[in-house]
């Protein structure tokens, strides 16, 4: 029974960490988008929203949404690049992509819902978020068994 309880706590810990990480930086979603998409096609898009986030989580990070048209269908995305979205790069990204600007969109021909504005590698900070998740798992596995 104690093992089930420990595993439940570890699972809850992982889920909470991943959700908060995604809200704050978008790291888990960025990793999934990077590896699930084959960004070989380009098309024209338009920036619908370009602003800085406010609030508790992700405050100061950029909030950019754009639309693009592929195969007689409109798509909306917020994937600008595969770097961490933080306060440090928000202002320059918002200036680079103002609302209403026409942009080139890279997308996957077979799965056009996967798109990005910039073809970049994954930023170390994105992997850092993933590393923190694994550290939390390790802490859970080492500390929880010693609880009385």
Domain boundaries, the chain: 2-146
The pLDDT score that the predictor gives to residue 147 is: 56
C-alpha distances in Å from residue 72, one per residue of 44, 63, 68, 75, 141: 13, 26, 10, 10, 50
Whether the CA torsion 109, 129, 143, 56 is positive or negative: it is: negative
Arithmetic mean of pLDDT over the chain: 83
Alpha helices, H only, 1-148? 2-24, 27-36, 87-96, 124-143
The pLDDT score that the predictor gives to residue 121 is: 84
pTM: 0.73
> For 78, phi and psi rounded to 5 degrees?
-125, 10
The pLDDT score that the predictor gives to residue 1 is: 59
The answer to whether the CB of 9 falls within 8 A of the CB of 144 is yes
pLDDT in tens, 12-44: 877 777 777 666 667 777 777 888 889 999 999
Q: What residue ranges of the chain have pLDDT lower than 50? A: none
The pLDDT score that the predictor gives to residue 30 is: 78
């Amino acid at each position: 029974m104690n093992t089930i309880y420990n595993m439940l706590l570890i699972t809850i810990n992982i889920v909470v960490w991943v959700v908060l990480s995604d809200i704050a930086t978008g790291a888990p979603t960025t990793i999934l988008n990077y590896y699930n998409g084959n960004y070989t096609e380009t098309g024209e898009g338009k920036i619908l929203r370009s602003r800085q986030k406010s609030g508790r989580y992700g405050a100061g990070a950029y909030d950019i949404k754009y639309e693009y048209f592929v195969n007689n269908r409109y798509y909306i995305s917020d994937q600008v690049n595969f770097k961490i979205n933080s306060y440090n790069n928000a202002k320059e990204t918002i200036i680079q992509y103002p609302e209403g600007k026409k942009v080139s969109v890279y997308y996957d021909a077979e799965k056009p819902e996967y798109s990005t504005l910039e073809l970049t590698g994954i930023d170390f900070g994105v992997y850092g978020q993933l590393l923190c998740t694994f550290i939390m798992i390790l802490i859970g596995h080492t500390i929880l068994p010693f609880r009385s």
